[in-house]
A and B are shown apart, each in its own frame.
Chain A
Amino acid sequence: MTLQELYGNIGESYEHALRVLRVEKLVDKHIRKLVTNGLIDSLLAAGETMDPASLFETSHAVKGNCGNLGLTRLSEAASRISEEFRPGNPRTMTDGEVKAQLDEIAALYGKTAEEIRRYAAENP
């Protein structure tokens, strides 16, 4: 599997990732890291405790990371959480709705991670 094929498999734009990260090497490096750096796991863990500060920090980091990698859907979902918990912003969702959003992120991430792991295995 090539990088382009990986992006095709997860339904995102490789061109977008390359426009931001400029070189294929960086796309390769950071797409692999997404499944090892524990970033999204931290967000999901914050959802367990519903701690607003942790939710904001972790969702903010996921938003940026995934945005740079061209993982638009993950980035946008994380952005909704970070806006919900940005200090000073009024809450617009119930905790249940937040958990539903997080479940969506978990599902999306699960699929994405599976493809990334496959890519990494094929391109050691």
Chain B
Amino acid sequence: MIKAGQIERPKTVLVVDDQEINRDVLEAILEEQYEILFAENGREALEMIRAHQEELSVIMLDLMMPVMNGFEVLQKLREDEELQKIPVIVLTAEREAELRALQAGAADFITKPFDEVEVIQARVGRIIEMSEGRKLISAAERDALSGLYSRNFYNEYASRLFRYHPELRLDAVVLNIEQFHSVNALHGRAFGDEVLRTIGREIRAFLAETEGIAGRMDGDRFGIFCKKQADYPGLLKRFQRELDRRFPDVNIHLRVGVCPWGENTDPVTMTDRARSANSMVRGNYKNPIRIFDEEMQRQEMLKQRLLNDLNRALEEKQLTVFYQPKYDIQCTPPRLSSAEALIRWQHPELGMISPGVFVPIFEGNGLIGLIDNYVWTEAAKQVARWREQFGFTLPVSVNLSRSDMFDMHLEKRLVRLIEENGLEYRDIKLEVTESAYTNNAQAVLDVIRRLRDIGFDIEMDDFGSGYSSLNMLSDMPIDVLKLDMKFISNIAVSETARRLVLLMLDIARYLRVKVVAEGVENEDQLEILQNSGCDLVQGYYFSKPVPPQTFEELIRKEIQTGRTKAE
């Protein structure tokens, strides 16, 4: 193992004394442990300090010297932000001078004559140690690239500001670069670094004009706590203008989220909120700034509430599965052929919550897997119950979220459901949205292919809303295409919409897969789809999603009228 001592830089001491005998004595005392430089007066010392700033560990400074005395040197060092970091030990025989020197910024003093050698060596060693410790802390405190605080220090200082200076009422700002990884990839890391440096410089210049602190939170994300600004869009423009000026040939777009100060807010929450606001304008090149407002706060609180309540909701069966029938329309009259299982949340305090509200929240953090599992289990049990009740099987399709694809127990889970309920694989159909295929497509395709090989039918949900290329589509392991309802809504009134649907039906025929049209609401739409060769439809025309009991009544009614596929 390489020990820290082996990689320590050599320590250099600058001895400043007009008396050769003093320089010689200190050399004799220190030469075994340190590299030693000499200066004979204050002016010469300052020149040496500037020239050897990086290597100097300590300055040993005589106070009484010609040309420029030690106090003047201390004063000059104090005025320089960088030089003041080098510790100074004053060399003096006068007790009064000691105090004055310490007050002027000296770290310690050594009395002349230098007859206590070990004391001198120990003092020099201790001062160097303390100063290096401080330098380490100082290096960790600042992000070298931007010159702003590094993340941990930024967070700590923000928290202190809020604790000790609540009167400042600081707003939180989170700023980053749109698609910064692309800037790095296209123009190189060095260019990216220069961009970050420029932003750091601009933020520092801004903070020189107002009260606040700033830090580089990570990558291209910067955080600022500053006094309320009248014009945040103007501030963003100012930063953006400088980037445009510095890098005229490259498109670099900043985006900003702001969380204004409010009673009872802490810096961590404010930063989170500014980040949320920031992420809401991701990709919005036209208006890349968002101020956290009440609506966002309401949404955030709802999100937090729902995240907290999910487990209880599952335990207390607040989540219920509704079913929406699918009708085969290629027979007359159309026949109830299957159903789609859809989740509903009857919250004890918030009432019925739309899946459009809670599904995206749980998709964002992987908890959707819990909900999906719940729906699969309920749906499988329901199919088994109806089979027992009515003597035939009505297949039910369930949704598979993108995150489910990365559940290594997915296949096992689904197979067990089929087996435990005595079902066939084709009784549970798996709906996967087209967009789930977009990223990491191969991994998703592999999972779906395996499920299909086992015997599950795969339905591609929301077809037409994603970005599948026709070429890719031909390779996809699917049995059914579900046309997104937005294509259906206008087919009775728009020739273009109708042609588009016809085109998609042609694609399905070419792929030899069946088509389900979603969102069918009226007879005209149904007729067009029937005449165009669409196989199945789903929508309010037949029934909205209903609870299992209501669905049972529907099945009974259809059995009576012979409009089921009862076999």
Chain A residues within 8 Å of B, Cβ to Cβ: 16, 19-23, 26, 29-30, 33, 37, 57, 60-61, 63-65, 67-69
Contact = CB atoms under 8 A, between A and B. Distances in A.
Given A21-B25, A22-B28, A29-B24, 19 more contacts: A16-B115, A20-B114, A22-B25, A22-B117, A23-B28, A26-B21, A26-B28, A30-B20, A30-B21, A30-B24, A37-B20, A64-B22, A64-B112, A65-B19, A65-B21, A67-B112, A67-B113, A68-B21, A68-B112
Contacts, number: 50
B66 interface: yes
Interface residues of B, number: 17
B213 to A, nearest CB: 44
B313 interface: no
Nearest to B17: A64
Contact of B25 (A20, A57, A60, A63): A20
14 contacts: A19-B115, A20-B25, A21-B24, A21-B28, A22-B28, A22-B29, A26-B24, A26-B25, A61-B18, A64-B21, A67-B93, A67-B112, A68-B21, A69-B21
A77 B564 CA distance: 124
Interface in B1-37: 18-22, 24-25, 28-29
Contact of A63 (B18, B66, B93, B114): B93
Contacts of A33: 20-21
B236 interface: no
A25 B162 CA distance: 63
B22 A20 contact: no
B64 interface: yes
Nearest to B112: A64
Nearest to B97: A86
Given A57-B64, A57-B66, A60-B64, A20 B113 contact: yes
Interface centre among A16, A30, A33, A63 (most CB of B within 10 A): A30
Contacts of B66: 57
A30 B114 CA distance: 15
Nearest to A88: B96
- 6 interchain residue pairs of minimum CB distance: A67-B113, A22-B28, A30-B21, A20-B115, A68-B113, A68-B21
Interface in B95-122: 112-115, 117
Contacts of A68: 21-22, 25, 112-114
Contacts of B19: 61, 64-65
Contacts of A21: 21, 24-25, 28
A67 B28 CA distance: 17
Nearest to B94: A86
Nearest to A37: B20
Interface of B: 18-22, 24-25, 28-29, 64, 66, 93, 112-115, 117
A74 B98 CA distance: 24
Contacts of B25: 20-22, 26, 68
Nearest to A79: B93
Contacts of A26: 21, 24-25, 28
A33 B21 CA distance: 9
Interface centre among B19, B21, B22 (most CB of A within 10 A): B21
Contacts of A16: 115
A19 B29 CA distance: 11
A20 B87 CA distance: 24
Contacts of A67: 93, 112-113
A61 B113 CA distance: 12
A61 B41 CA distance: 14
A11 B229 CA distance: 79
A54 to B, nearest CB: 11
Nearest to A60: B64
Contacts of B113: 20, 64, 67-68
Contacts of B117: 22
Interface centre among B28, B113, B117 (most CB of A within 10 A): B113
Contacts of A64: 19, 21-22, 93, 112-113
A19 B25 CA distance: 10
Nearest to B93: A64
Contacts of A30: 20-21, 24
B199 to A, nearest CB: 52
A28 B276 CA distance: 76
A57 to B, nearest CB: 7
A17 to B, nearest CB: 10
B40 to A, nearest CB: 12
Nearest to A31: B21
B33 to A, nearest CB: 14
Contacts of A69: 21
B454 to A, nearest CB: 88
A21 B117 CA distance: 10
A16 B117 CA distance: 13
Nearest to B24: A26
Contacts of B20: 30, 33, 37
A31 to B, nearest CB: 10
A111 B112 CA distance: 26
A69 to B, nearest CB: 7
A16 B25 CA distance: 13
B547 to A, nearest CB: 97
A33 B22 CA distance: 13
Contacts of B22: 64, 68
Contacts of B29: 22
B411 to A, nearest CB: 82
Contacts of A29: 24
B162 to A, nearest CB: 48
A81 to B, nearest CB: 14
